[in-house]
Amino acid sequence: MVQPIHSKEQLEKFSISKLWAECDKLSIPRRRSKTDCINDILNAQPQLITQAKLEVEQPANLPQVDDTHFIGGFLLRCAQVNSEYAVVWDVLDEKNSVMGEIRMGWDCFWTHSLSLNTFATPQETVVDLRQAIEAFVIEDEAITFEKIADDRWEAMVNGVLVCVASVDDGYKTSMTDDTVLADYDTAIKESLLAVARLQPSVEVKSEFEIFTTRLPNVFAVHSHKSGKRYEVYPDSDSCTCPHWLHRHEQEGFKDKHLEAVRAALQSGILLLRETQTDTEKLIEKFTDEFGWIGGGQIAQARVWLESLFGNDFKEAILSGEARNKALQQEEQMDKKMANW
């Protein structure tokens, strides 16, 4: 039987004894503070969601490696089965060259190698892959390959140096390993497609900036669009953004901050350590004294402070008002517990 998932609003209506019962079910320590119990339960529940996902029926009738299939005139060849993804298909163009790959996850959603978006069907995924490639090639129509020797050409494509060389049986490029291509035009096209397949890592950085934090396997995601900062916890599939907090229980839920962190980790991008702002340093110092607030996590402690003092929470910390409020809440909780 799956443990029921509770919202923060539901937990706030529980008595401390009922909260302790929930802690026992989740195998987490009982906390003296009701606020602590609620935060610990909320932090533990994403693990239950992950467990529930594992209990969902897995995709059936998976293909075998090298099986083929046609979608919209494109030949698909099965490249991988039963690994990180349920199945990975190479998508071949009319010249039988691999133009990308589409992947079905264990949640039965589809992705492809040139986008971070998810799709409901392989047909939609193939169409989007083709459109992404065409858009990239159109943008680079003005690229000119400079002839630097009798049998060698070079060009800079989106910051990547691409080299094409003439060999006995055709052409080789710096982007296609040891593959011998039939003619010069094919070599140029395959080089551009290879550069296009490198672009997802650039897309991750264009919308978000991702950093490691002082906490192990906890990442800070800075949104260039909104200017907001969120913390992502891949181990529990959770995020501090409002979208995750209010909608993560919905079927098929996806969080773009979680997806961005996963994509960055899979791509092997070197993530820098986050430099704390003065505000974050101030909150961290406060949480070090009152570790029972938000489990010492800056993002959760900030929510608590803003709920009491609004935008004046920094002044409240510096003046000691926040400290007094924390002590007052702790004292009230001690009195309640003494009466139980």
Average pLDDT over residues 283-292: 68
More confident residue, 26 or 45: 26
More confident residue, 209 or 114: 209
What one-letter code names the amino acid at 307? S
In angstroms, the CA 53 to CA 135 distance is: 36
Residue 276 CB: number of other CB atoms within 10 A?
15
Of the CA atoms within 13 Å of residue 30, those in its CB half-sphere come to: 11
Beta strands, E only, 115-218: 146-149, 152-157, 160-167, 170-173, 208-212
The pLDDT of residue 52: 44
In angstroms, the CA 135 to CA 190 distance is: 15
At 5, the pLDDT band (50, 70, 90 cuts) reads low
The pLDDT of residue 140: 42
More confident residue, 170 or 17: 170
Average pLDDT over residues 11-38: 83
At 138, the pLDDT band (50, 70, 90 cuts) reads very low
In angstroms, the CA 29 to CA 32 distance is: 10
| pLDDT tens track for 159-208 | 678 888 988 888 899 888 788 888 877 787 778 777 776 654 444 445 78
Residue 1 has pLDDT above 50, yes or no: no
Residue 314 has pLDDT above 70, yes or no: yes
Of the CA atoms within 13 Å of residue 303, those in its CB half-sphere come to: 16
**Helix, strand and coil percent figures for the chain, each rounded to 5:** 45, 20, 35
In angstroms, the CA 248 to CA 255 distance is: 8
In angstroms, the CA 236 to CA 96 distance is: 41
Mind giving me the DSSP string for 201-244? HHHHHHHEEEEE-SSTT-EEEEETTT--EEEEEGGGTEESSHHH
The two structure tokens encoding residue 9: 């609003």
pTM of the entire structure?
0.34
The two structure tokens encoding residue 224: 């260039």
**Dihedral angle, C-alpha 65, 68, 72, 74, nearest 10 °:** 80
More confident residue, 205 or 210: 210
The pLDDT of residue 246: 80
Q: Are 181 and 171 in contact (CB under 8 A)?
A: yes
Cα Dmax for the chain: 91
Q: Which of 35-49, 300-314, 318-332 has the lowest mean pLDDT?
A: 35-49
Residue 146 has pLDDT above 50, yes or no: yes
The two structure tokens encoding residue 116: 């971070």
Distances 79 to 85, 87, 101, 178, 294 between C-alpha atoms, Å = 11, 8, 9, 19, 45
The two structure tokens encoding residue 300: 């959760």
In angstroms, the CA 289 to CA 260 distance is: 33
| pLDDT tens track for 43-85 | 877 655 444 444 444 566 788 888 888 887 788 889 888 777 8
The pLDDT of residue 23: 83
| pLDDT tens track for 92-130 | 877 677 777 888 887 788 888 666 677 888 888 888 887
